[in-house]
Amino acid sequence: MEFITVASLTLLILAAALLYSSVGHAGASGYLAVMALFGVAPTVMKPTALALNILVAAIAFTMFYRAGCFSWSIFWPFALGAVPSAFIGGSLTLPGNVYKIVVGLVLLYAAVRLFLATRQPDSTTKPLPAGIAVLLGIGIGFLSGLTGVGGGIFLSPLLLFMGWADARKTSGVSSAFIFVNSVAGLLGHYSSVANLPAAIPVWAAAAGAGGLVGARYGSSRFSGLAIRRILSAVLVIAGLKMIFT
């Protein structure tokens, strides 16, 4: 890659990590978006997004856990179903054109989710049906491993819309869920690690810095609603680019 491309991706990865980690996410859809905008090969995109996800999710989970924003009873049923299916999804490699369409649709979904996201006042939550959560985790995990996202963009709105967790616990549970899913997805296609670009240490440093700052503010007071809506526009552009080019 040319220097200007690496530098531009580094700055955008930093921004994506900061924004996503503020709500307990690790930024995979953001990383996929910026790599798509710069024409990075699909074989490189998936392992790179998962590797950066693991780092940022670990940072975000630590911050939210320390702030008391985590529930084991909500986390384990989803993780139980998701981890093995994420491993299976990660072991599969879609043809380049199919992968681009699937990821493009995921990015468009992420854009809608980010644009509509709000920080509603916490309300009374409903008990989580463990059996249903395991089944939902299987589906989310498989799609996460297949596309190279951690699954937070699917889990977070589900928890909030169903009333199974408040906003802060949703962020903490999502960060832990993304971490285990990303590890499983990368292990499922371990050979893809050979496709990691030479710039991955620089991108990891940028993602780690962004994740640290974003999670620190997100676990206490930062919402970033307006900025997330701007980011959703970037995801739309990238998603459409993946589908139609």
Burial of residue 107, with CB atoms counted within 10 A of its CB: 0-12 exposed, 13-18 middle, 19 or more buried: buried
pLDDT value for 163: 87
Q: Which two tokens stand for residue 30?
A: 């953001």
Decide which of 9 and 188 is more confident. 9
Tens-digit pLDDT profile for residues 72-122: 999 999 999 999 999 999 888 888 788 888 888 988 887 887 777 654 544
pLDDT value for 10: 96
Residue 181 pLDDT > 80, yes or no? yes
pTM here? 0.85
Domain that holds residue 102: 3-244
Q: Mind giving me the DSSP string for 198-233?
A: TTHHHHHHHHHHHHHHHHHHHTTT---HHHHHHHHH
Which range, of 96-105, 206-215, 217-226, averages the lowest pLDDT?
217-226
Give the max Cα distance, the chain.
52
Decide which of 241 and 28 is more confident. 28
pLDDT value for 121: 47
Helix, strand, coil percentages (3-state) for the chain, rounded to 5, are: 80, 0, 20
User: Of 30, 18, 31, 54, which Cα lies nearest the Cα of 176?
Assistant: 54
pLDDT value for 183: 94
Tens-digit pLDDT profile for residues 222-235: 555 655 666 677 67
Angle CA 56–59–64, to nearest 5: 120
Our count of domains for the chain comes to 1
Could you list the beta-strand ranges (E) of the chain.
none
Q: How far apart are CA 140 and CA 134, in angstroms?
A: 10
Ramachandran quadrant class, 75 (left: phi over 0; alpha: psi -120 to 50; beta: rest): alpha
Q: How far apart are CA 160 and CA 129, in angstroms?
A: 14
User: Of 49, 57, 173, 58, which Cα lies nearest the Cα of 106?
Assistant: 49
